[in-house]
Amino acid sequence: MPVQQPISHASEAGRPRWRWRPWRGPLPFLLPWLIGFIALTIIPLFLSLYWSFTNYDMLQPPQWVGASNYVQLVHDPLFRTSVINTSFMVVIGVPAGIVLGLGCALLLRRPIRGSALYRGAIFVPAVVPSVAVAVIWIWIFNPDYGLLNAALGVVHIKPQGWLASPSLAKPSLLMLLVWEAVGQIMVLMLAGLKEIPGELYEAASLDGAKPLQHFRYITFPLLGPVLFYSLIVWMIFYLQFFTEAFVATAQDLGEPVNSTLFYSIYIYQNAFQFLKMGYASAMAWILFAVTMIITVTLFRLQRRFIFYRGEQRA
């Protein structure tokens, strides 16, 4: 395909220097995606913003109700429950995944016998589809026949009703999620660790630094960008957490006693079970706003805490 050379021949012919001729450029190639993106993402996005100010049940035309959906949310005890449940996952799940992922990466950093196998084994959960993961863990959590209780039985710990108990269901799901996340975080961290030049450790050793000091003053600060990336990505993932909880509680969403009623689950329930599309849209926009605020805040903060190599500091 001819490459556009607007400057040379445009000026020769005395025509405008540049002409917008999209059909000659990349646009025809982008068009299929662009149409899909506009029709299936951009338009629904703004429709949902509009619906969040309406009563809409998908079957009748939406009715404008102003901010009443947002006002109602404040008084909805289950909205609060779902916020608390989701916050639990974010506040505990994100650090737990990063700490464990970093730990695995540090352990498997140097080539030891079978390190490829260990790395592979830890990463495997990431390639299993979430629904399959959930179904397998439902069995692992089974109070009578599950692997987890069988393992605990060996050390004489009383069998637990992992997903059946209102106090254990959330931590159980968290366990499952961290198991899925650790491998992915580990791979990222391994890549980050490779980037750290060996001379730094060498120099530190010559100055008499101990391994813990290596970590504190070299590894940790230089991994900053990778840690920060993981933090953002996994925070967003946990805020939107849906699939595994949906599969595990398919019979009765949020069971037992709303302990697994996460924010996205409650959006789904309002939208598709209760036909409250407007209410669900309002929830979705609040989630978007909250995610945005947290992300922007973290990006502001990172300037103070994260050090990028090659960057000059005043």
Partner 1 sequence: MSIRLVTRSLVSGAVILGSLTSAAAAASAGAKVVNLTMWQQWGGGHEEAALDKVIKEYEALNPGVRITETPVTNSAKILTAISGGTPPDIVDLGTSLEVGEWASRGALLPMAPYISSSHLNTGVYVPAALDALTVSGQLYGLPFMDFDVGLLYNKTLFKQAGLNPNDPPTTTQQLQSDAFKLTKQEANGRITQLGFLPDYPGQSNGQVCTLEDMGWDFGGQWYNDKTHSITADAPQNIAALNYEASFYKKYGASNMANFESSAGAYLTANDPFESGKLAMVYDGPWALQYIEANRPSLASEIGVAPFPAPAGMSSLRGTTFIDTNPQVIPRGASDPSAAFAFIKWETTSPEVTATFAQLVANLPQLKKVPSFPLANDSRFRVFINEASSANAHVWPPLPYSTEYGVRLCQAQQSALLGTTTAAKAMGSLQTTMESSASS
- Closer to partner 1 by Cβ: residue 31 or 91: 31
76 to 95, contacts with partner 1 by CB under 8 A? 77
Q: What does the buried/exposed string (b/e) look like for 91-108 if buried means 16 or more CB atoms within 10 Å of the residue's CB?
A: eebbebbbebbbebbbeb
Among 4, 47, 70, 72, binds partner 1 (CB under 8 A): 72
- Closer to partner 1 by Cβ: residue 85 or 142: 142
Return the CA Rg of the chain. 26
Among 269, 284, 286, 306, binds partner 1 (CB under 8 A): 269
Identify the DSSP state of 41: I
Among 4, 10, 49, 55, binds partner 1 (CB under 8 A): 55
The span from the CA of 76 to the CA of 260, in Å, is 17
The span from the CA of 61 to the CA of 255, in Å, is 33
Among 96, 126, 164, 233, binds partner 1 (CB under 8 A): 164
Identify the DSSP state of 63: E
What would the two tokens of residue 51 be? Answer: 């619906």
Among 23, 33, 207, 311, binds partner 1 (CB under 8 A): 23
Task: Compute the Cα dihedral for 133, 136, 139, 140 and give only its sign.
Answer: negative
Decide if residue 155 touches partner 1 (CB under 8 A): no
- Closer to partner 1 by Cβ: residue 63 or 205: 63
Interface stretch with partner 1, choices 40-48, 84-92, 141-149, 234-242 (CB under 8 A): 141-149
Closest CA to 179 of 133, 118, 229: 133
Interface residues toward partner 1, by CB under 8 A:
1, 23, 28, 55, 57-60, 72, 77, 142-146, 158-159, 161, 163-166, 251-258, 269, 272-275
